[in-house]
Structure 1
Amino acid sequence: MISTKCFLLSPLSKIFYCRAIVYFAQWHHQKNIFVMGVNMANIINRDAIGDMARRAATKYGDKTAIVFRDTVLSFYDLERESRRFSHLMHSFGIRKGDKVAILAYNSHYYPISLIGLGKIGAVQVPLNYMLNAEEIAYIVNHSEAKIFLVEDALYPVIAQAQTQGKFPIVQKWGFIPLGDSMVPEGFFHLPREMAAMPFDEPQ
């Protein structure tokens, strides 16, 4: 018969044991912020772009991740907005392997779209804003991008080419209004559409 003394912990062991329980509880609470109601099979330890923001949100939480003009995003915010972007693209028919082009200056929508597309296995096609309309059209068409996101300040670069049908491969146009510009006809308002999306982890 095994003596119950074998199961007794020394005072030092008790300290380590209690600390381990506390650390686990803190980690589990933080982790559950983003996994409640989510298929756990989708939460795996992998080095994929779509998972980077989730792990960073779990680790850094409310710490500042991105500052763009008056917009300040924490790591939680970055993960949440990336998820909303994922759901929006999925609702537009974007699936694994599909491409989404983006023509914009450096803003928070670059990492949001990059991470969001990674969550559903899609690919971001970033475009150099110094290119002309003909060069942009070639890249977009060659990449077979189904959706083209354009920042308001750069819309004039492709406006004429867009109305002339130079982008036959593009199925949907998105507008990123960082200023006071009106949304052109035929474009969806990216921030507004994202705000209507859920922020659970895409499956």
Structure 2
Amino acid sequence: MVTDPNKATRKPRADSLRNRERLLAAAAEIFRAGGPEASLEAVARRAGVGIGTLYRHFPTREALFEAIYRREVEQLAGLAEALAKSEPPFRALRLWLHAGVRLTATKRGMLTALTLAIDKSSEIYAFSSAQLTLALGVLLRRASAAGEVRGDVEPEDVLQALVGLSLMGRQEDWETNVIRLVDIFVDGLRAAAPLPADAVAG
């Protein structure tokens, strides 16, 4: 019986990719909730794999953190495109920024180790900045074209405000409070209604 020589290698590769995705999803949940002390053993258990499988994919905690952050940045960038197709402009912007708070929640849980890893190279900074600036720019231009957002707002300004708001709180319910502050901030981006003609004349 002749067998396909590629068949033997195809399934392990698919399994490996599935394991990697399960590990990233599990780690994001655990580190978002538990902070930097959350164990790698807990990540492996949540993903349903052995600790050896985790280390084959991510030999260090820093490597795992960087992979989580990169994955969530990519998902957030993709969300902008999906929201632009499915939601009104201003609501799409608001929902995207709420999702940005959740990204920061994950980042807060692994901030120290992630910072140490990033210090070795600025590539992940450049990657995340480019991805998020581009994604947010799409939503801002769409909302501005619809007359719903001020035309002088740059994506870099909004991202800087989002990071500042997200990192300022330390209480347990900080995410709820930050989303409330983000809503206040977003409402402040609305385009001003034109003044009545008699007010301008006066």
Q: Please classify the TM superposition score into its range, dividing by the shorter chain length.
A: under 0.3
User: Which has the larger helix fraction?
Assistant: 2
TM-score (norm 1): 0.25
User: Which has the larger strand fraction?
Assistant: 1
